[in-house]
Amino acid sequence: MVYCNWGKFHAAIGIYKLAIVQQLSTMVVLNIKRGNESQFLLETTVQAPVEEVLNRTVMIHNGRLKVYRICTEMELLAEHGPSLPPEMQGLTEDQIKDLQLEDNWAKICIASGGVKENKDVCGRRNGCQPLEKMQEVLLKTVAEAKAIVSKEQVKSSVCLTEQHICDALDILRGAIMIVYPMNLPPHDPIRKELENREVLSGTQDEKLVIMKIQKRGQGPPGREPMLTEEQQKALMAAEFKRREELKRLDNDDDDSYLNSAWADNHQLHRRFQGLDNISWKPH
């Protein structure tokens, strides 16, 4: 686990190459890539231990993922309002009535300036959409936060730091407090993220990041295998079994099914005459 001043994060799976693109005195700029696509630049020193550089890289990478997750949820917030309680999500109105469920947080967590109805067809949010002015606050802030951690910063030779991540999170948090002075419900994914209570199990962001350092001019590192050793063994066993079955079917005669009882046209006639199950032996 990697800890920093803005919380605990998990990394997405991928292979990243750290390429030294510039060296000024003892300072170096690393180009963090996924495949051949640059993600962000990281400034460090030639004296910095490799472990320290990797930890910083992972923290900034995880921070970017966190910012993008919050931005995605804030766009949905601007459309359909706060999240429904977990026990109500995905249910129809009739099911909610039958189970006598009620969203008590909808009466507390109301957007500044009022709301209008805009139902969420996915059944995740309560449909209390903020009015246009507050929507603009949310969406404008989302665009600003995305720009801070964008891959486009590489083209501008801007090196990302932990402070960039904190700044992006701070403006997102500020926008939420402007639009929702009473804060969002405790179960809302945005509030969970801002309070570092997010649960990423079962998501892509839960998986580990694999980092390889290559010397300049060596090209991209080799890819990690898609399957584990156990998965490869299971796949090979299944493939062998399938080939053996196909081989057995090829060796069978095309008319072998005629030996089956269900293919005998005289079976019913013999049954009526009591001639079934009679065996003949030579004397």
Supply the DSSP string of 45-81, one letter for each residue.
ETTS-HHHHHHHHHHHHHHHHHHHHHHHHHHHHHHH-
pTM for this prediction? 0.70
Q: Tokens 């309002």 belong to which residue? A: 81
Amino acid identity at 251: N
Bridge-based pairing of strands 115-117 and 128-130 is: antiparallel
Query: Which secondary-structure segment (H or E) carries 36?
Result: none
For the chain, the structural domain boundaries read: 2-213, 229-272
Residue 56 contacts residue 45 (beta carbons within 8 Å): no
Q: Nearest-5° angle of CA 114, CA 130, CA 121?
A: 125
Query: Looking at residue 154, what is its pLDDT?
Result: 94
CA–CA separation, 127 and 53 (whole Å) = 44
Q: Tokens 């507050």 belong to which residue? A: 134
- SS3 at position 8: strand
Bridge-based pairing of strands 15-24 and 210-213 is: parallel
Give the pLDDT of the chain (283 residues) as one tens digit per residue. Answer: 333 344 443 444 345 555 555 554 588 898 888 877 899 999 999 889 888 988 999 899 999 999 999 999 999 999 999 999 999 999 998 999 999 999 999 999 999 999 999 999 999 999 999 999 999 999 999 999 999 999 999 999 999 999 999 999 999 999 999 999 999 999 999 999 999 999 887 777 766 766 666 676 777 666 666 667 788 888 888 888 888 888 877 776 555 555 666 666 666 666 666 666 666 566 5
Query: Looking at residue 10, what is its pLDDT?
Result: 43
CA–CA separation, 115 and 132 (whole Å) = 9
Please give the distance of CA 22 from its chain centroid, rounded to a whole number. 33
Q: Tokens 């129809």 belong to which residue? A: 92
Q: Nearest-5° angle of CA 208, CA 65, CA 77?
A: 135
Output the CA torsion sign for 80, 86, 89, 94.
Answer: negative
Query: Looking at residue 5, what is its pLDDT?
Result: 40
Output the CA torsion sign for 168, 171, 173, 175.
Answer: negative
CA–CA separation, 81 and 96 (whole Å) = 18
State the DSSP string of 189-214: HHHHHHTT----TTSGGGSPPEEEE-
Structure tokens at 115: 């709301």
By CB neighbour count within 10 A (0-12 exposed, 13-18 middle, 19+ buried), where does 233 fall?
exposed
Bridge-based pairing of strands 2-4 and 7-9 is: antiparallel
CA–CA separation, 176 and 190 (whole Å) = 9
Structure tokens at 182: 């009473």
